[in-house]
Amino acid sequence: MIVNITLPNNTSYDITIDKLNDIHFDTKVVVVTNPTVSGFHLDYLKKYLSAKELSVVTIPDGEEYKNMSTIDMILNHCFEHRLDRKSLLVAFGGGVIGDMTGFAASIYQRGINFVQIPTTLLSQVDASVGGKTGINNKYGKNLIGAFHQPKAVLIDPSMLKTLPKREFGAGVAEIVKMAVTFNKDFFEWLEQNDLTSDENIKIAIAKSVETKADVVSKDEKEHGIRAALNYGHTFGHVIENETNYNTYLHGEAVGIGMVMANKLAVKVGLMNEEEALRVKNLLEKYDIPTSYSIKDVEDFYEHFFLDKKSLDNKIKFILPKGLGDCVITDEVSKNDVIEVLKEF
Amino acid sequence: MIVNITLPNNTSYDITIDKLNDIHFDTKVVVVTNPTVSGFHLDYLKKYLSAKELSVVTIPDGEEYKNMSTIDMILNHCFEHRLDRKSLLVAFGGGVIGDMTGFAASIYQRGINFVQIPTTLLSQVDASVGGKTGINNKYGKNLIGAFHQPKAVLIDPSMLKTLPKREFGAGVAEIVKMAVTFNKDFFEWLEQNDLTSDENIKIAIAKSVETKADVVSKDEKEHGIRAALNYGHTFGHVIENETNYNTYLHGEAVGIGMVMANKLAVKVGLMNEEEALRVKNLLEKYDIPTSYSIKDVEDFYEHFFLDKKSLDNKIKFILPKGLGDCVITDEVSKNDVIEVLKEF
């Protein structure tokens, strides 16, 4: 299965969703990965990937290493191996690996190509479209980075066999997000089909990727509709922050965030109770958490303003409009938000 | 005088060459400058520049600070002042300030706008077109960076009054470079006119900028003809490196480099002796150095290969073809090069 992504500058790249096939690059290639992915899949990758000169840099696993020091590790490896402007980086891992490899590629000698081989469901459906790369710093997440598009994305769903169940669920949460905000047919298909089947997960990945590509193509630099991809994230980011990023996976926090956004959508009349329940049921089918206990509602509310997407002290909410559509609004009253938060 | 620069994505920006005029930005603005420029010109700038919220970050002066730590200083200032995605950086200084401010702007929240107000002749003619930004590291110069175009460039030639004479000459060297490689009429105009006159320097800046813009527009990412802008640089970089970057200004090293390239052009029959002499005379009119004493010819030759532009172990020379034209070639024999180097 191949999804072709057209970029605003009229170039394009392919997302191939299938078992890996032989690929040869006639350039120097550096594979960026972490010990976990490397342990499970590096030998498998090396069976198929060859290059003029292939080397691997293994960086520490985890969001806490998504910083400039790790970028330096990657860049230094590239300099030591004398990569030139035609060389290529391969991001082999989850979202953190993808974001960092893409960022390193974007600034190495003012930009070289990179290929994504995402190994988690979340990164397969989410990180392979959009060109967002970046790192965290003490001020927040993804605050330093670049828009840098991959040359190609290779998604091999067979790698998901080694993915922990919770991480699989976190990926499903992003798939559900895409369906709820943009595609009612897809949502209904998700209700009727089991994503743990090999064939279905391929279809779901392709559908998610196509949907995201369609949105991103209309808004590469996130000035408008692309913000809708943050459905569940406004709440999710606060949850992640309150729990010090060590309780929920990103996709899980987004799952809870969607349930919160839905309650708000019901409150302001954009969604009915039954629709909200269907989303919740679908999430729970994959054991994605949907409840959360807010300690201090006012404090939770104040946290919204720390989000970099909150310009001019207004909070932008992405609220579903029924199923398969959504609105982006900064006109929800504080009162309505507080009342919804009190239910958690 | 305004030169409009069209970019490949069909956006464009203006380079205004004139005394500063009132400019107001309805966003947060951070001016990035250094103590020298700030001492001479910051009050002058503040007379004309206003913003919704204006702050200044002063970074240390000099190429040795063109590194990631200084970028962090700039970014941290931006985070502390809570710049958002609509905010703007202003590069107020020479090439180092321009390169670093542009790079910081390119990675702050995945890219915000920046405006160049170059204060040296070199940066006025060279750094204001092309979108190259970057920093140095232990592996070499400008090895980390991005292509990031300014929103506007404001060149006020009155700021050149405080520029040391050597730095003025270094800027003239780049102007001569542009004329020799691309524009014979401009070269002859330069022979006949004195650049220390207010009116003439404006014309020369505009002409240089137009010429460079024309080249860059044909080749934004430096795959072909843009390499011709490196005329004098292949030799110049080695000279800078051999003298530890503390003997010659960049433009001065390029001046010597052009004289070397010309000798090689004469040797391979692309230029005649008289043409080479005219270039040398023009450089010397502005006290730009044209001689250099090479200690070890073989060693000098080996240095070429450390240049990042030397892919596949071939040295790419940019050689003038008469006056106003040039060729890019990697087919000059080592023997010819060595013989030319022996003359220095």
pLDDT in tens, B58-109: 999 988 999 999 999 999 999 999 999 999 999 999 999 999 999 999 999 9
Nearest C-alpha neighbor of B117 from the set B28, B6, B204, B16: B16
Flag if A143 and B109 touch (Cβ within 8 Å).
Answer: yes
- Please indicate, yes or no, whether residues B146 and B201 belong to a single structural domain of this protein: no
Does B119 count as an annotated binding residue? yes
- Is the minimum CB–CB distance between B144 and chain A shorter than 8 Å? yes
Binned at pLDDT 50, 70 and 90, residue B264 comes out as: very high
ipTM: 0.86
- Please indicate, yes or no, whether residues A113 and A168 belong to a single structural domain of this protein: no
Q: How many domains does chain A have?
A: 2
β-strand B132-137 against B317-320: which pairing, if any? unpaired
A80-114: b (≥16 Cβ within 10 Å) or e: eeebbbebbbbbbbbbbbbbbbbbbbbbbbbbbbb
Supply the range of the domain harboring residue A301.
164-342
- Please indicate, yes or no, whether residues A148 and A174 belong to a single structural domain of this protein: no
**Contact indicator for B101, B90 with CB cutoff of 8 Å:** yes
Task: For chain A, give the mean pLDDT.
Answer: 93
B250 carries an active-site annotation: yes
Mutate to test the interface with B, among A99, A107, A306 (most CBs of B within 10 A): A107
Mutate to test the interface with A, among B75, B84, B110 (most CBs of A within 10 A): B110
- Please indicate, yes or no, whether residues B188 and B149 belong to a single structural domain of this protein: no
- B132 neighbourhood in chain A, CB within 8 Å: 110
- Please indicate, yes or no, whether residues B157 and B290 belong to a single structural domain of this protein: no
Closest residue to B145, CB basis, from A110, A137, A311: A110
Exposed (0-12), middle (13-18) or buried (19+): which is B218, by Cβ within 10 Å? Answer: exposed
Quote the minimal CA–CA distance from B39 to chain A in Å: 31
- Please indicate, yes or no, whether residues B9 and B117 belong to a single structural domain of this protein: yes
Does A298 count as an annotated binding residue? no
- Please indicate, yes or no, whether residues B244 and B116 belong to a single structural domain of this protein: no
Closest residue to B68, CB basis, from A9, A68, A145: A68
DSSP secondary structure of A83-129: --TT-EEEEEESHHHHHHHHHHHHHBTT--EEEEEE-SHHIIIIITS
- Is the minimum CB–CB distance between B111 and chain A shorter than 8 Å? yes
B284 carries an active-site annotation: no
Tell me the backbone φ, ψ of residue B203, rounded to 5 degrees.
Answer: -65, -45
| Helix (H) or strand (E) segment spanning residue A51 | strand A49-58
Residue B309 clears pLDDT 60, i.e. is over it: no
Residue A308 clears pLDDT 80, i.e. is over it: no
- Is the minimum CB–CB distance between B9 and chain A shorter than 8 Å? yes
Q: Which long-range contacts (CB under 8 A, 24 or more apart) does B156-164 make?
A: B156/B18, B156/B19, B156/B20, B156/B117, B157/B17, B157/B124, B157/B198, B157/B201, B157/B202, B157/B205, B158/B19, B159/B40, B159/B41, B159/B44, B159/B119, B160/B120, B160/B121, B160/B124, B160/B201, B162/B40, B162/B41, B163/B119, B163/B120, B163/B121
Determine the number of helices (DSSP H) and then strands (DSSP E) in chain B: 12, 11
Nearest C-alpha neighbor of B117 from the set B128, B108, B106, B126: B128
d(CA B97, CA A324): 48
**Contact indicator for B30, B55 with CB cutoff of 8 Å:** yes
- pLDDT value of residue B312: 59
Terminal Cα distance for chain B, rounded: 41
Flag if B146 and A143 touch (Cβ within 8 Å).
Answer: no
- A137 neighbourhood in chain B, CB within 8 Å: 75, 79
- Please indicate, yes or no, whether residues B87 and B114 belong to a single structural domain of this protein: yes
- Domain boundary pick from A161, A192, A211: A161
- Please indicate, yes or no, whether residues A44 and A145 belong to a single structural domain of this protein: yes
pLDDT in tens, A31-88: 999 999 999 999 999 999 999 999 999 999 988 999 999 999 999 999 999 999 999 9
Cβ atoms < 10 Å from Cβ of B287: 14
Quote the minimal CA–CA distance from A193 to chain B in Å: 37
pLDDT in tens, A141-162: 899 999 999 999 999 999 999 9
Catalytic annotation, pick one of B41, B77, B174, B262: B174
